[in-house]
Chain A
């Protein structure tokens, strides 16, 4: 089984930053795939399935994040996450909850 690691950089563009609901959507999305995913903000690295860890990053609007995925469907999970970020987590740009 090939264990390729792919990574990509995303920029947070939703107003509220990586908050509770955004973290939940990330965790939910990642769980649908087999790949291991981590999120990197400057020197902090957290598992993308750990909501509490994700919020603890304190990533605000404008923050640059690295996403790294390892596993067979690494590319697919990054695509799915990329859509989530570019879609501002489905927020209509009011401060979310």
Chain B
């Protein structure tokens, strides 16, 4: 058994077989072969060794001819290693006695050697592990031949373990079979994290290197609540996780009964509880759980994983699907919140050393008006179909907001001239996620129809912490008193002017914060669809008076740890099964 700590980005627990993707997106397949196929599989192994040998010999001869024997010696060594009698007998034994697939046997055996070599004290010798990985890869390539497959052709449930997933790989994960994933790199803001949430599967990122220590088919536990990955768990750990999973399932069944009930507090305060979505299909996850609307429809997926920019029709189709499904319930479409690095055109700027502080989001939109206009036109057209609202991300100055609104007005005029239907009174909102916007909130509320607090970025910018940096991620905390204060200021300012204010960051989906947020005066929340039942349950278990007392107390507290443990206690009092 081995435990790895990473960053939890999507909650839940998954237990299952590993599917290992190496750096080349190479998939290491299943563990066992049928008993009567053993001889055939042994043949396959010998053929693979033979063709890998041929290949190495050809390399050796070519290099030797070109550069001399000294440089071809490495290939000679690889060749000898392939024919190592001990290695061969180990592989044969695994296939014959344990019915391992040749691929699994090869990767397991060679990785074990590589691990030993990697742990050697001499750095020079330790680096020789790469030669062993090289042989592993070569053998696998010959074993898999044409059957070499990526992540896209799955036939049974797996947990995907990868160095990194590209946005298009993540977006195309087959949710019927992928039950969770772990990546060695990445942070909570990464696109893969958002996709995991969208799919409702547990995910852990940023574990650091570990892929050399697992083989496809190994039993793995992904604990997306604690950010833990357990490789080859022992019986006790397995039993504990299975029990937990069972409890969660029964809680989920209980909460299903709340589906058609409103998120109203015990003392009758109605709370608008909406879902965050990224992909159009997620609208079903919202309606299935009785969401009051879509509080955040991210639109980045339209740009990621595609080689070309989406056209107006592509936008419109994606929006109208969601708007129609929601009927008269609100759908808040956020204009693209991308970094310049994510776009095929124009090329990324040279000085983007600090993308979080760089050309992204509304800044990028205002510099690429063509792109921005295309999206706004599609949103406007969709507004004729239902209850659409538009929202601008990362607004930090009034000027930016005014510019964005002006372009929206231009688009309205254009549509009007062309006789295309849209909602003239389309509500326009902004994300509150930069501390500067909170400081200027009294001015913003006069120029906007609604607001939505994006805590993920607000926390990052307030505390100056990069969530993707393992060294400082511990400082990233929604319970930090500075963050709570900023949220309080924003809610108060909006409530004074009766401007609807929502909170759509990960904070609102965490049961620990629900009472605090209600107590601070928040009456709308938007959470990932999976969290809807739990948050609704809390709303229906508390009174506003209780929540206000909690908030009042929290506002006097000095550090995140105290606040969080206090909030956990209060939650335990009101909704013990969710604590």
CA distance A68 to B556 in the complex (A): 76
Q: A56 near B116 (CB under 8 angstroms)?
A: yes
Q: Contact check: which of B84, B113, B124, B128 meets A27 at CB < 8 Å?
A: B84
Task: Judge if A10 is at the interface, Cβ distance under 8 Å.
Answer: no
Give chain B nearest CB distance to A41 CB in angstroms: 12
Q: A55 near B128 (CB under 8 angstroms)?
A: yes
The A/B interface has a contact count, at CB < 8 Å, of 66
Residues of A within 8 A of B77 (CB): 20-21, 23-24, 51, 97
Task: Judge if A47 is at the interface, Cβ distance under 8 Å.
Answer: yes
CA distance A20 to B129 in the complex (A): 10
Residues of B within 8 A of A18 (CB): 125
Residues of B within 8 A of A24 (CB): 73, 76-77, 80-81
CA distance A19 to B131 in the complex (A): 11
Residues of A within 8 A of B87 (CB): 50, 52
Task: Please judge, given known A-B contacts A20-B74, A20-B131, A56-B116, whether A51 and B124 are in contact too, CB under 8 Å.
Answer: no
Q: B86 near A47 (CB under 8 angstroms)?
A: yes
Task: Judge if A7 is at the interface, Cβ distance under 8 Å.
Answer: no
Task: Judge if B394 is at the interface, Cβ distance under 8 Å.
Answer: no
Q: A19 near B125 (CB under 8 angstroms)?
A: yes
Nearest neighbor of B135 in chain A, beta-carbon distance: A52
Determine chain B's interface SS by DSSP, over half rule: helix
Q: B113 near A56 (CB under 8 angstroms)?
A: yes
CA distance A17 to B128 in the complex (A): 12
Q: 0/1 per residue, B47-87, Cβ < 8 Å to A? A: 00000000000000000000000000110110011001111
Q: How large is the interface on B (under 10, 10 to 19, 20 to 34, 35 or more residues)?
A: 20 to 34
Task: Judge if A60 is at the interface, Cβ distance under 8 Å.
Answer: yes
Residues of B within 8 A of A52 (CB): 81, 84, 86-87, 113, 132
CA distance A52 to B91 in the complex (A): 13
Q: B81 near A20 (CB under 8 angstroms)?
A: yes
**How many residues on A have C-beta within 8 angstroms of the other chain's C-beta atoms?**
22
Nearest neighbor of B113 in chain A, beta-carbon distance: A52
Task: Judge if A58 is at the interface, Cβ distance under 8 Å.
Answer: yes
Q: B74 near A60 (CB under 8 angstroms)?
A: no
CA distance A30 to B260 in the complex (A): 78
Task: Judge if A36 is at the interface, Cβ distance under 8 Å.
Answer: no
CA distance A58 to B124 in the complex (A): 10
Nearest neighbor of A96 in chain B, beta-carbon distance: B73
Q: B84 near A56 (CB under 8 angstroms)?
A: no
Task: Please judge, given known A-B contacts A16-B124, A60-B125, whether A97 and B73 are in contact too, CB under 8 Å.
Answer: yes
A26-45 CB contacts (< 8 Å) to partner B: 27-28
Task: Judge if B354 is at the interface, Cβ distance under 8 Å.
Answer: no
CA distance A97 to B130 in the complex (A): 12
Task: Judge if B325 is at the interface, Cβ distance under 8 Å.
Answer: no
Residues of B within 8 A of A95 (CB): 124
Q: B84 near A17 (CB under 8 angstroms)?
A: no
**Which of B74, B124, B132 lies at the interface centre, i.e. has the most chain A CB atoms within 10 A of its CB?**
B124
Task: Judge if B36 is at the interface, Cβ distance under 8 Å.
Answer: no
CA distance A97 to B124 in the complex (A): 9
Task: Please judge, given known A-B contacts A19-B128, A97-B74, whether A50 and B122 are in contact too, CB under 8 Å.
Answer: no
Residues of B within 8 A of A19 (CB): 124-125, 128
Q: A58 near B121 (CB under 8 angstroms)?
A: yes
CA distance A20 to B430 in the complex (A): 61
Task: Judge if B120 is at the interface, Cβ distance under 8 Å.
Answer: yes
Nearest neighbor of B90 in chain A, beta-carbon distance: A52
Residues of A within 8 A of B85 (CB): 49-50
Give chain B nearest CB distance to A55 CB in angstroms: 6
Q: A17 near B86 (CB under 8 angstroms)?
A: no
Q: 0/1 per residue, B93-136, Cβ < 8 Å to A? A: 00000000000000000000100110011101100100110000
Task: Please judge, given known A-B contacts A17-B122, A19-B125, A19-B128, whether A53 and B86 are in contact too, CB under 8 Å.
Answer: yes
Residues of B within 8 A of A51 (CB): 77, 80-81, 84
Q: A21 near B74 (CB under 8 angstroms)?
A: yes
Give chain B nearest CB distance to A79 CB in angstroms: 22
Give chain A nearest CB distance to B266 CB in angstroms: 66
Residues of B within 8 A of A56 (CB): 113, 116-117, 120
Give chain A nearest CB distance to B506 CB in angstroms: 45
CA distance A52 to B132 in the complex (A): 9
Give chain A nearest CB distance to B96 CB in angstroms: 20
Q: B80 near A58 (CB under 8 angstroms)?
A: no
Q: A58 near B120 (CB under 8 angstroms)?
A: yes
Give chain B nearest CB distance to A13 CB in angstroms: 15
Besides the known contacts A24-B77, A50-B84, A58-B117, 5 further A-B residue pairs in the complex with CB atoms under 8 A apart: A16-B124, A51-B80, A55-B113, A56-B117, A97-B74
16 A–B pairs (Cβ distance < 8 Å), ordered by A: A20-B81, A21-B73, A21-B76, A24-B80, A24-B81, A27-B84, A47-B86, A49-B86, A51-B77, A51-B80, A56-B113, A56-B116, A56-B117, A56-B120, A58-B122, A97-B74
Would you list the 6 A-B pairs with minimal beta carbon distance, nearest first?
A58-B120, A50-B86, A24-B77, A20-B77, A24-B80, A60-B122
Binding site for A on B (CB under 8 A): 73-74, 76-77, 80-81, 84-87, 113, 116-117, 120-122, 124-125, 128, 131-132
